[in-house]
Chain A
Amino acid sequence: MPTVVSHGLIGLAGAYLRMRVRSLSMLLLNPLALVLLASLACAYVWVLVVEGSNLRTQSMPGSWTEIAAFTYGILLIVVALTAQRGSPLRLHLADVSWALQSPEGPRVSALLHGAMSAVLALIGSSSASAIALTMRGENPIYGVVSGVSIASLMLLLRGVSLSLHLIGLVAPRLVRMLLPFVLIAAAVLILGGITREPTPGYRRCDGRRPWAARSLPRSYR
């Protein structure tokens, strides 16, 4: 990695870390925020430990896969449509003014907001799942499965968001104007494909794929 990129990346990552610590410390001084945080943490542990155990005895219905795919599709469309206008997925204005204008700014920003956030999601989610699995007396190594899935989702969302920023910078005005309509048309087609009845002569695929089942712990199969 060139020195300028690593230098800039360390600086920007450090700046974001300081900002995150500051906002968290302010949050922890707010009693209402503390109560909400504790409730959310309890709910999270309950879902992971109690509901996770319940799911073990049930077979996952195929419609769950469809719901997940539908939600995922909607999520991507929302990301695509909000990435450039007043949303948390938009790059910070200061990033646009200062980070992106530096010599290796675009690379530094892509590495920080794309790759590093995915790595953080991988570590965070893997650890949380591993703790939940340990509490249920199972092998914590399978926590990596949820870590990878959350990191992939994060990477995809960030990828869509950053790509749209790039399109906004380099694409002609006409392309930028047409892009939302193209995205909506693509979304309608994709969602239509997910929810439509199977073509005559074809059987609807079971949501639980054999290759996916092999990657799960034996107790889930």
Chain B
Amino acid sequence: MPESPDLYPGLSVIEHIRLLERLNMVERADEHLHDVIARFGLADKLDALPHELSQGMKRKLTLILALRKGARLFLFDEPFNGLDPVATRELRLELRRLADEGNGVLLSMHGLGELQKIADRVLCLIGGRVVRSINMRETSGEADDALEDIYLSVVGGGSEDR
């Protein structure tokens, strides 16, 4: 999922879903679809066009499309950028739920605070190379900025007087 979701400007939420179903020959029952739409809080936005949706809703719609397509691996580029705190929390919970259901979820992001709340494992990249792999279970229970400290120790910058 790119930072700004790729949606057809003239198609409503439900039309996007129906198009994806046709393109991918999806034959799953509508009850399942309604459950997913309700879970993502888009039940009252089925006829809304993309420009009428908030950034968080657009990302949720993209997630629904990927789920409807039967995807098992999800790649996100900066998923929390431009979201208000409520949308951030909702999306975080959905991503966590996806991972807990056995799907692969890979987030590419700079916001370490959000990452610390959601990730199982963090890979630090510098110049495209993995320089550190962090198991987040080991840092659980530590300070809120533990990941930030680890990251800064890896990249070697940002000393801060406390």
Partner of A102, one of B11, B18, B24: B24
Question: Residues of B contacting A22 with CB < 8 Å?
Answer: 10, 49
Residue A99 CB within 8 A of the other chain: yes
* Bound-complex Cα distance A12 to B22 (A): 8
Q: A97-B6, A98-B65 are in contact. Are A18 and B22 (CB under 8 A)?
A: no
Q: CB within 8 Å of B: which of A1-31?
A: 3-4, 7-8, 10-12, 14-15, 18-20, 22-23
Question: Residues of B contacting A98 with CB < 8 Å?
Answer: 6, 19-20, 23, 65
Contact of B23 with A23 in the complex, beta carbons under 8 Å:
no
Residue A94 CB within 8 A of the other chain: yes
* Bound-complex Cα distance A20 to B9 (A): 11
Q: Shortest beta-carbon distance, A80 to chain B, in Å?
A: 24
* Bound-complex Cα distance A19 to B19 (A): 12
Contact of B25 with A18 in the complex, beta carbons under 8 Å:
no
Partner of B6, one of A7, A8, A93, A105: A93
Contact of B11 with A15 in the complex, beta carbons under 8 Å:
yes
Q: Shortest beta-carbon distance, B161 to chain A, in Å?
A: 46
How large, as a class, is the contact surface on chain B?
10 to 19
Residue A92 CB within 8 A of the other chain: yes
* Bound-complex Cα distance A105 to B147 (A): 42
* Bound-complex Cα distance A8 to B20 (A): 9
Question: Residues of A contacting B10 with CB < 8 Å?
Answer: 18-20, 22-23
Looking across the interface, which residue of chain A has its beta carbon closest to that of B12?
A: A18
Residue B94 CB within 8 A of the other chain: no
Residue A108 CB within 8 A of the other chain: yes
Q: Shortest beta-carbon distance, B118 to chain A, in Å?
A: 24
Residue A103 CB within 8 A of the other chain: yes
Question: Residues of A contacting B148 with CB < 8 Å?
Answer: none
A-B Cβ contacts below 8 A, count: 56
Q: Shortest beta-carbon distance, B79 to chain A, in Å?
A: 15
Residue B7 CB within 8 A of the other chain: yes
Question: Residues of A contacting B11 with CB < 8 Å?
Answer: 15, 18-19
Residue B3 CB within 8 A of the other chain: no
* Bound-complex Cα distance A5 to B7 (A): 21
Q: CB within 8 Å of A: which of B17-43?
A: 18-25
Question: Residues of B contacting A7 with CB < 8 Å?
Answer: 22-23, 25
Q: CB within 8 Å of B: which of A75-130?
A: 92-94, 96-99, 101-103, 105, 108
* Bound-complex Cα distance A96 to B65 (A): 14
Residue B15 CB within 8 A of the other chain: yes
* Bound-complex Cα distance A96 to B6 (A): 9
* Bound-complex Cα distance A99 to B9 (A): 15
Return the CB mask of B31-69 against A: 1 if under 8 Å, else 0. 000000000000000000100000000000000010001
* Bound-complex Cα distance A23 to B148 (A): 48
Q: Shortest beta-carbon distance, A5 to chain B, in Å?
A: 10
Q: Shortest beta-carbon distance, A58 to chain B, in Å?
A: 44
User: Which A residues are closer than 8 A to B by beta carbons?
Assistant: 3-4, 7-8, 10-12, 14-15, 18-20, 22-23, 92-94, 96-99, 101-103, 105, 108
A-B contacts, 5 listed (Cβ < 8 Å)? A12-B23, A14-B19, A93-B6, A98-B20, A102-B23
